């Protein structure tokens, strides 16, 4: 089986694919100081709960936007799984043209979303990924990655509002019952939710205006289901898009010399 590790700013996702389907996905909060041994204790316990074993892991791939997390994730694979992980970096065979000024600065998550979107949906397409940041990744009609936009994630916006305004409470994200809030909490929830829906709709509309054909709009990321309740913008919900991108990249680079893989993501 292939172990896919998607390490982000908020969560790290471990997922196992047997060549036909995902056999399991597990999520842990991101922590740069977490050691390889701590990952092992957590992961071994979860595998045992579903009747799987690390002995079944034959390959691994890591995609990360947090360089500090890479050392212990690689060490975990080497020490506990006895495999050399492939690291998603720009010099691998991606199978997708990247039309940006500096491809090396493009985050692994954005390139992976573009790869998976091209493979499953073709182009033109816009991938909206609701993560720590909300990213917009554009694939043209020829299946080329064209760039996109990056906005602060809604949880970052909520935290910034709380910290900057002394009397405003920290607010969980949810769809309000009404747009007009009759108390501070509901007013904040309304502004965050509907304001963010407006941001996403507005950016996607402006991206579409710059394209020759109407793109498919694909939603992914943890908060995608919540925001899909407030708009008819999305054509496709693809919760595993980044993981599928890592799987596709691993399959394209089976013979890659992982020992010489770059530590940059």
Return the pLDDT at 121.
94
Please tell me whether 165 is known to bind a ligand. no
Ligand-binding site membership of 240 (annotated):
no
Annotated catalytic residue 109: yes
Residue 166 has a pLDDT of 56
| Average pLDDT per block of 10 residues along the chain, 265 residues long | 93 94 93 93 90 91 91 96 93 92 91 96 95 93 95 79 67 81 84 92 97 95 90 94 96 68 40
* 2-87 placed in CATH 3.30.420.40: yes
Q: Where are the domains of the chain?
A: 2-87, 103-249
103-249 has the same fold as 2-87: yes
Sheet holding 133-139, edge to edge: 145-152, 133-139, 125-130, 216-221, 236-237
Is residue 7 annotated as involved in ligand binding?
Answer: yes
| Catalytic member of 109, 137, 240, 244 | 109
107 marked as part of a ligand binding site: yes
Nearest-angstrom CA–CA distance, 127 and 221: 10
| 74-94 burial code (b ≥16 CB/10 A, e <16) | bbbbeebbebbbbbbbbebeb
Residue 169 confidence (pLDDT): 66
The CA distance from 81 to 57, in Å, is: 7
How many whole angstroms separate alpha carbon 197 and alpha carbon 45?
39
Give pLDDT, residue 262: 42
pLDDT at 259: 41
24 annotated as a binding-site residue: no
Is there a binding annotation on residue 9? yes
Any idea which fold 103-249 has?
Nucleotidyltransferase; domain 5 (3.30.420)
For residue 172, the model assigns a pLDDT of 73
Contact assessment for residue 254 and residue 203, using Cβ atoms and an 8 Å cutoff: no
In this predicted structure, what is the pLDDT of residue 162? 64
């Amino acid at each position: 089986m292939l172990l896919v590790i998607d390490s982000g700013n908020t969560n790290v996702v471990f997922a196992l694919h047997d060549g036909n389907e995902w056999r399991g996905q597990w999520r842990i909060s991101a922590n740069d100081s977490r050691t390889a041994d701590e990952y092992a204790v957590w992961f071994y316990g979860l595998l045992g709960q579903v009747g799987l074993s690390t002995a079944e892991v034959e390959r691994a791939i890591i995609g990360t936007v947090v360089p500090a997390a890479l050392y212990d994730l690689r060490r975990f694979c080497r020490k506990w799984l006895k495999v050399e992980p492939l690291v998603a970096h720009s010099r691998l065979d991606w199978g997708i043209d990247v039309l940006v000024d500096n491809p090396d600065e493009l985050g692994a998550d954005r390139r992976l979303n573009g790869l998976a979107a091209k493979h499953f949906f073709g182009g033109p397409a816009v991938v909206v990924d609701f993560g720590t940041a909300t990213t917009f990744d554009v694939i043209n009609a020829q299946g080329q990655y064209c760039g996109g936009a990056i906005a602060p994630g809604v949880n970052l916006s909520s935290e910034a509002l709380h910290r900057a305004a002394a009397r405003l409470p920290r607010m969980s994200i949810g769809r309000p019952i009404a747009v007009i809030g009759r108390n501070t909490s509901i007013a904040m929830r309304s502004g965050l939710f509907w304001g963010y829906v407006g941001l996403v709709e507005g950016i996607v509309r402006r991206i579409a205006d710059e394209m020759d054909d109407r793109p498919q709009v694909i939603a992914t990321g943890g908060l995608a289901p919540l925001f899909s309740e407030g708009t008819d913008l999305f054509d496709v919900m693809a919760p595993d898009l980044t993981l599928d991108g890592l799987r596709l990249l691993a399959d394209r680079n089976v013979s890659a010399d992982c020992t010489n893989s770059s530590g940059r993501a």
